[in-house]
Chains A and B, each alone.
Chain A
Amino acid sequence: MEEILMLKNVSVFYGEHPVLKDVNMGIRPGRILAVMGPSGSGKTTLLRALNGLLWEEPEAEMKGEICLQGRDTRTMDREELRRRVGLVFQTPQPFPFSIYKNMTYAPRYYGIRKKEQLEEIVREKLMMAGLYEEVKGELSKSALKLSGGQKQRLCIARALTAEPEVLLLDEPCSALDVKASAVIEETLLGLKERYTIVIVTHNISQARRIADDAAFFSEGRLVEYGKAETLFTAPEKEETRSFLTGVCG
């Protein structure tokens, strides 16, 4: 299976301080990759590098190459890269508009003006995120009035409206309770048919439940990467083993 995203010797520095060190990995399409590691191991920076948000930080410098479908992302227009590689943040951040306006924000930018077409996108993406049934009667309600879990699913649905190929999620369940997290997990499992998903998580059991592949980072280095099943049952590196058993991280 050909990799959708390929990282070759990727390092990221903030001034002199390296946050990611020489990362080499290929991310396969149609799967869920769980990225784990202790705090400060460079997981969030990895996601930002993947969707080009790092370019907005003047103090960050990236070396190496990230290829999306074989094309170096540095040669791509940054808007195009971000459309193709969506990112959902740790704290759900709906725009302070109605649910409907949140969902049509990106499609309008891409030139879709027809009401029926917009309504179809809103319905389809909300359904994919498992939110449609809960909000269908109140699409004009402020998105800020939704519960934490609903907000996060709205953010996932909103990210889908840009029709990305890869969906990056930065600890999407860290602020949610067990029930809301379970709904998000279910949503992600439903989405992997159509999208490649990279999820940063601190929750090892969550990673076990949903991930096809898993990567373990420590101090900016990619320590171990492979099939989730193998990594969780028989990790090769001692560092990974101690993280999984809760000795470190």
Chain B
Amino acid sequence: MRWIGTFTKIWAYAGISAVCAAVLFLFGYVFFQGAGIISVEFLTEAPKGLVLGEEGGIWPAITGSLCFTGTAMVLASVPAAASALYLVFYCRSQRLYQAIRLVIQCISGIPSIVLGLFAYSFLVRDLNLGRCIFSAGVALAVMILPFIEVRAEKAFREVPAELVRSSYSLGCSKLYTITRIVLPACRGELVSGIILGGCYAMGATAPMIFTGAVAYAAVPDSIFSPAMALPLHLYLLVAQGSTSMDTAYGTAFVMMAMILLSSLLATAYARRSQNRWKRS
């Protein structure tokens, strides 16, 4: 039976090598193709050219994307953390727990274009908010809510039960225990979950096509104005054909760099915060 063990090992190594190679190739290819166009002008100017985006930069798209993502993170994190707290510390009925879990799973299963359609018909049209960062932010928030909730719930469950019970045994309320023990213990995990959710939102295009992202706009001055977004800008540049492929790769480069950097920061923050909490 030794050959089964050897085979499994080779299979595992081959699998992990293939995945790493694919990811590295993807990043490497985009960075290699896009690196040439990156310059201070590209990062700080608005798109220009006869075919829009062929020349100039992507500054409004960068700020727009940050605004969309920030709005989604704020709108999603509060209900996500609250529902995770409820499920872990307050919900005593198994049925209710299962029902809430099912709803959250269903939300994560909704195609993002449907979320966009919902936000368009309800917020943009019925509530007359128009295409703006807020409308798109709501659609993106619904999309990333289950993502953040699952991570928050996992983090809350990983707080040692004995610590929570020790606090209860001193006669302290749940709220006090949550604010003094649970949230500080999970701060890193929570923040990193929210940032990773933001990364997910930053790369999504479908929820904001109808609701807030536009082909061209200046740097947004309020969350009730439309804005450019990196993924939609990238899509439009590619759709325009070969003349704007360089700027398309440049846009992809910036977007991936932003997402990668945010993910790394989130992971580092989670680790640091966990260590610091343990040492405090």
**Chain A residues with a Cβ under 8 A of chain B:** 51, 53, 56, 58, 79-84, 86-89, 91, 93, 95-98, 105-106, 109-110, 142, 144, 155, 158-159, 161-162
Contacts and interface: CB of A to CB of B under 8 A. Distances in A.
B280 A97 contact: yes
B169 interface: yes
A158 B168 contact: no
B170 A86 contact: yes
Given A58-B94, A144-B278, A109 B170 contact: yes
B162 A93 contact: yes
Which of B162, B185, B278, B280 has the most CB atoms of chain A within a 10 A radius of its CB?
A: B280
Contact of B167 (A96, A105, A110): A105
B157 to A, nearest CB: 14
Contacts of B176: 109
Contacts of A155: 166
Interface in B223-280: 277-280
Q: Determine the main DSSP class of B at the interface with A.
A: helix
Interface string B107-145: 000000000000000000000000000000000000000
Contacts of A97: 280
Interface string B166-190: 1111111100100011000100000
A9 B101 CA distance: 38
Given A144-B278, A162-B171, A105 B180 contact: yes
23 contacts: A56-B168, A58-B94, A82-B168, A82-B171, A83-B171, A86-B169, A87-B169, A89-B162, A91-B162, A95-B163, A95-B181, A96-B163, A96-B278, A96-B279, A96-B280, A105-B170, A105-B172, A106-B171, A142-B280, A158-B166, A158-B170, A162-B170, A162-B171
A158 B172 CA distance: 12
Nearest to B169: A87
Given A58-B94, A96-B278, A96-B280, A79 B166 contact: no
Contact of A159 (B93, B170, B181, B280): B170
A91 B166 CA distance: 11
Contacts of B185: 96
